[in-house]
């Protein structure tokens, strides 16, 4: 019943957005309609991916989640890159990482901490993710700017180098967590499986789609719809940036970054409230890592193909914000515990950065 209502709401929002795009000349309205349609579509996409993952078994499933988990971001990015909006795409990469690390993680710590005085999480997983963040973000995003001094050829080589290394380390990370060190990291998964009411896992008993072909069909349809909406979104962003005076940077860092992940974000906070901090971290920090080490390289390779190369030449505010965010998160996670004050700090830092990106021209 609830599912049918959700489905109806999704279709209504998609229809509204198409109608807006056809008839209404206001970029602001079109933008909002596209955003509102993408949010539930992203939720359905995640659902379909997860159900396919359950049906094909843990390893192939893990690989699938890791690969298609950020499909919405990749699709929006590809449409924007085809239009040459490289600043927007780079800003949405920065924003997605900052939003996940500071806003989503912070809100999870804050909301969870209001109910539970001290929340604990698997320190080994936290540590491994922090190390990846420290490699993936300051090193990969800083080095191209530092070494190439804005020269075209150097930027091309360095961006290619960091994207290849990031991508490779990401693949190795999957091998690590799905094959060689599955046991070690998996202790907590087993615990979770024992828990019968686990809200973060799909059981065979509550699958929505009857079999694999149906799930694949759903995934295909949703992907096409996401593509259509992304096209609308990108066009309205172009108008918005040129007319309403909002910078591509602000739209990318704060607005676009939030849309593709809204459903995920809500579930990270919900998991924290249920005291399942490991799932919450998996979503918040895991998403940041996927964006930095998988989405960003994929979009770079795509940008080369479509002939609008997106160099990793991030601005100083982006680089400083990313580095500061990672150091703060590293300190917050190093002890395997969280409380509401830590959450408030992360959200506070995000608020200052959001204001900063808004006033930046």
The residue ranges that bind a second copy (CB under 8 A) are 117-118, 123-124, 127-128, 130-132, 134-135, 138-140, 142-143, 146-148, 153-154, 157-158, 161-162, 165, 168-169, 172-173, 176, 180-181, 184, 316-317, 320-321, 324, 327-328, 330-332, 334-335, 337, 339-342, 344-346, 348-349, 351-353, 355-357, 359-360
Tell me which residue of 129, 188, 133, 56 sits closest to 327, measured CA to CA: 133
What is residue 196's three-state secondary structure? coil
11 versus 161: smaller Cβ distance to a second copy: 161
Look at the chain and count its residues: 361
Which residues are 338's β-sheet partners? 119
124 versus 192: smaller Cβ distance to a second copy: 124
Residue 224 CB, shortest distance to a second copy, in Å, is: 36
Residues 216, 48: Cα–Cα separation, whole Å: 7
Could you tell me where the DSSP H helices lie in 57-151?
58-68, 71-82, 86-98, 105-115, 123-134, 140-148
Residue 254 CB, shortest distance to a second copy, in Å, is: 13
The first and second tokens of residue 142, run together, are: 């800083």
Residues 69, 71: Cα–Cα separation, whole Å: 6
10 versus 290: smaller Cβ distance to a second copy: 290
226 versus 253: smaller Cβ distance to a second copy: 253
Residue 223 CB, shortest distance to a second copy, in Å, is: 31
54 versus 134: smaller Cβ distance to a second copy: 134
11 versus 169: smaller Cβ distance to a second copy: 169
Containing 311, the helix (H) or strand (E) segment is none
Residue 188 CB, shortest distance to a second copy, in Å, is: 16
Residue 166 CB, shortest distance to a second copy, in Å, is: 8
DSSP 136-185: IIIIHHHHHHHHHTT-HHHHHHHHHHHHHHHHHHHHHHHHIIIIITHHHH
Residue 115 CB, shortest distance to a second copy, in Å, is: 12
Phi (first) and psi of residue 229, to 5 degrees: -65, -35
Residue 148 CB, shortest distance to a second copy, in Å, is: 7
Please report how the helices 277-290 and 86-98 are oriented relative to each other, as an axis angle in degrees rounded to 10.
160
8 versus 123: smaller Cβ distance to a second copy: 123
What is residue 25's three-state secondary structure? coil
């Amino acid at each position: 019943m609830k599912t049918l209502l959700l489905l109806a709401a999704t279709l209504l929002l998609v229809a509204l957005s198409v109608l807006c795009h056809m008839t209404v000349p206001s970029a602001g309205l079109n933008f909002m309609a596209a955003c509102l349609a993408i949010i539930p579509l992203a939720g359905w996409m995640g659902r379909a991916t997860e159900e396919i993952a359950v049906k094909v078994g843990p390893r192939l499933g893990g690989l699938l989640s890791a690969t298609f988990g950020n499909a919405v971001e990749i699709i929006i990015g590809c449409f924007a890159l085809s239009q040459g909006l490289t600043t927007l795409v780079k800003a949405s990469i920065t924003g997605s990482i900052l939003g996940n690390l500071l806003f989503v993680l912070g809100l999870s710590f804050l909301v969870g901490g209001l109910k539970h005085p001290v929340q604990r999480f698997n320190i080994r997983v936290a540590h491994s993710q922090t190390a990846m963040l420290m490699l993936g973000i300051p090193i990969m995003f800083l080095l191209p700017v530092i070494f190439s001094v804005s020269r075209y050829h150097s930027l091309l080589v360095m961006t290619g180098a960091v994207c290849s290394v990031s991508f490779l380390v990401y693949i190795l990370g999957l091998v690590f967590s799905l094959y060689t060190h599955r046991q070690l990291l998996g202790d907590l998964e087993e615990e979770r499986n024992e828990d019968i009411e686990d809200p973060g896992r799909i059981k065979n008993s509550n699958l929505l789609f009857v079999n694999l072909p149906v799930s694949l069909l759903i995934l295909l349809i949703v992907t096409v719809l996401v593509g259509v909406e992304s096209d609308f979104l990108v066009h309205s962003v172009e108008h918005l940036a040129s007319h309403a005076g909002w910078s591509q940077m602000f739209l990318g860092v704060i607005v676009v970054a939030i849309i593709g992940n809204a459903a995920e974000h809500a579930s990270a906070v919900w998991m924290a409230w249920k005291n399942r901090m490991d799932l919450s971290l998996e979503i918040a920090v895991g998403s940041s890592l996927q964006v930095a080490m998988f989405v960003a390289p994929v979009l770079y390779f795509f940008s080369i193909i479509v002939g609008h190369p997106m160099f990793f030449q991030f601005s100083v505010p982006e680089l400083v914000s990313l580095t500061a965010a990672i150091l703060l998160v590293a300190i917050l996670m190093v002890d395997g515990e969280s409380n509401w004050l830590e959450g408030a700090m992360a959200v506070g830092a995000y608020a200052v950065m959001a204001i900063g990106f808004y006033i930046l021209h």
